[in-house]
Structure 1
Amino acid sequence: MPSFRALLRHLFVAPLAAVFVSGAAVGAPVDIVDDQGQALRLAQPARRIVSLAPHITELLYAAGAGERVVGAVQYSDYPEAAKKLPRVGGYSAVDMEQVIALKPDLVVAWKSGNRNAHLDKLRALGIPVFINEPRRIDDVAKSLAQFGRLAGTDAAGEAAAKAFRARHAALVAKYSARPRLRLFYEAWNRPLMTINGEHLISDVIRLCGADNVFAKLPVLAPTVDVESVLATQPEVIVASGMGEGRPEWLDDWRQWIRLPAVARGNLFFIQPDLIQRHTPRILDGAERLCGQLEEARARR
């Protein structure tokens, strides 16, 4: 069972000139800018990649680069093949010795989750570091294309990005103009945690035609109190938690019988891996949320 710290993540070869991998020449240099605005140049596509966040691991596989990944952090559990990767600690407590022992030619890191001290040490050792930080749904597609370039699986990465954008556009067309609902997203109960308007989950909420009641808070994943939630009078409360099952603490809101979300029976759950990870599965979570909000609109 993942720890509370894991929740904050849910947030964090020898070249062969004549060989082509998914449309990219093995020896071709890669010039790219990461999500922190830093330019990165690889002499050739990476062949030994270490992932420092579960969502990065999943994105690498989705971009056709799974065979290039030689190590990953704890909870990198999707797809199934990722479970067999050597572990290099957790996203916030990276085992630097394990990373170095794997002799990576690229480390892909998470701006919000990994410690700068770890990344600075890797750079000092001459290991290229690419920073990933998706904040909008379309950033997932961007990441897929970027990871394909980094690993030399350009065709697979671009195809995955194109399919993701097409599915996203279909959801936007179907739900974004629906009557607005006021929604409180409960990431955790003790402490009571939510997300602000800059978080990827808020982009999903907007996609489905709702407004995050704490969108204006300055912190990406802030703690709030019960009184502030009651003051916003949400029509819908959505919880995630840390497991596949609906958290029992979602029902704690039932004591507030005059709260619109409670009075109308709009207490919903979405499996965290489907809405808290910055991966193609975010659209699975979006479809579930959009469906739940249609139920809520019918109860107005």
Structure 2
Amino acid sequence: MSRALRLGRVRPPSWWRCGFIHRALAAVLLVAGLLATAAGARAQPVHLRDDRGAELVLAQPPQRLVSLLPSLTEAVCALGACERLVGVDRHSNWPASVARLPSLGGLDDAQIERIVALRPDVVVAGLSSRALERLESLGVKVFAIEAKDHADVRRSLGLLATLIGRPEQGPLLWSRIEAQLQQAAGRTPARLRGQRVYFEIDAAPYAAGTSSFIGETLTRLGLGNIVPPPLGPFPKLNPEFIVRARPDLIMAVQRNLASMPARPGWSTLAALRSGQTCGFDAERYDMLVRPGPRMGEAALLVASCLERLDRAPR
């Protein structure tokens, strides 16, 4: 094409104009077809069974969601449907954008009337939520999910991805988590491999057992656990059990870690005396104790602590 034609100083020949129109029209039709295909995929009916065994049937993926569990809130957002959330539980705090949404209580005191008033297509919640039956009695569709270990997290991400009409996003998100877990495992210092961990969930004390998603992450990093598998994923322990177990490493939210030496008998624990501990601020600790899309980041956080302990003077 000549410079004059490019500058618009001469009228292009009719054959060129017709060809351009045909090419432009073909491009428009192609884009329209792709958009229609995508819209059709999103509009496919939803037929799923939740972790109670209850069936959920929808004519199309939900456009208005309420989440009553922080890990589910995080998963919905990580799967690309954060804009569909119209309300969350009081503990949901990631991503930051959910802070603008109505806060609807917690596991034991969900605000039923406010949830109903938001007209959600589906409420996603944990199995232990007391709101499930009440919401269903009022005609609200509920989808309940329980995630205790890595396999559960992978499965729950797949279920949520299918629920929102983006089934391909579940495996993609899990692949990212798996890559981060592998990266974290490769960073565990050789000296600390096999060290036995007490990971505190609550000062009661509750601990993360071997069979929990946290325990599985610790295992992936080459660490041991003072909690034997028969005690379950998150057992309440006798404080004397922990003293007798003499963990090599202790991990907890920082405020609990700071108070441990004052607990009866705990000042004798070598891990506390020698500083073989990982204390996490509340924000990072939230990431560690939620079985959701940031599980790989949590493993990297633990790996960073282990690297610091390995570099510390001994």
When normalised by structure 2's length, the TM-score is 0.76
Supply the distance in 1 between the matched residues of 2:188 and 2:52 (Cα, whole angstroms).
31
**8 Å contact from structure 1 (residues 107, 127) kept in 2:** yes
Supply the distance in 1 between the matched residues of 2:39 and 2:179 (Cα, whole angstroms).
22
In structure 2, the residue matched to 1:105 is 121
Q: Aligned pair 1:154/2:154, yes or no? A: no
- Which of 226, 238, 251 does residue 238 from structure 1 map onto? 251
Supply the distance in 1 between the matched residues of 2:291 and 2:150 (Cα, whole angstroms).
8
Structure 1 or 2, whichever has the larger Rg, is: 2
User: Which one has the bigger helix percentage?
Assistant: 2
**8 Å contact from structure 1 (residues 20, 26) kept in 2:** no
- Once the two structures are superposed, the pairs formed by residues 3-82 of structure 1 within 5 Å of their partners are 25-82=41-98
In structure 1, the residue matched to 2:18 is none
2:207 is paired with a residue whose SS is coil
- Which of 293, 297, 302 does residue 289 from structure 1 map onto? 302
Please list every run of 5 or more consecutive structure 1 residues that lacks an aligned counterpart in the other structure. 1-17
Please list every run of 5 or more consecutive structure 2 residues that lacks an aligned counterpart in the other structure. 1-33
**8 Å contact from structure 1 (residues 64, 157) kept in 2:** no
Moved more, 277-286 or 211-220: 211-220
2:66 is paired with a residue whose SS is strand
**8 Å contact from structure 1 (residues 138, 165) kept in 2:** no
Q: Aligned pair 1:180/2:194, yes or no? A: yes
- Which of 131, 136, 142 does residue 144 from structure 2 map onto? 131
Of structures 1 and 2, the one scoring higher in RCO (CA 8 A, sep 6+) is: 1
- Once the two structures are superposed, the pairs formed by residues 88-99 of structure 1 within 5 Å of their partners are 88-99=104-115
2:176 is paired with a residue whose SS is helix
Supply the distance in 1 between the matched residues of 2:226 and 2:266 (Cα, whole angstroms).
17
Paired residue total: 276
**8 Å contact from structure 1 (residues 194, 224) kept in 2:** yes
Pairwise CA RMSD: 3.1
- Which of 220, 229, 240 does residue 207 from structure 1 map onto? 220
Matched letter for residue 265 of structure 1: G
Supply the distance in 1 between the matched residues of 2:105 and 2:273 (Cα, whole angstroms).
44
- Once the two structures are superposed, the pairs formed by residues 202-281 of structure 1 within 5 Å of their partners are 202-216=215-229, 218=231, 220-240=233-253, 247-252=257-262, 259-270=269-280, 271-281=284-294
Report % sequence identity: 29
Report deviation, 1:253. 6.9
**8 Å contact from structure 1 (residues 196, 217) kept in 2:** no
Matched letter for residue 275 of structure 2: G
Report deviation, 1:126. 3.3
- Which of 126, 133, 145 does residue 120 from structure 1 map onto? 133
Report deviation, 1:247. 4.8
Report deviation, 1:69. 1.0
Supply the distance in 2 between the matched residues of 1:238 and 1:263 (Cα, whole angstroms).
14
Q: Deviations over 1:182-230 (max 9, x none)?
A: 11112233x2222333322111221221222123453543333332111
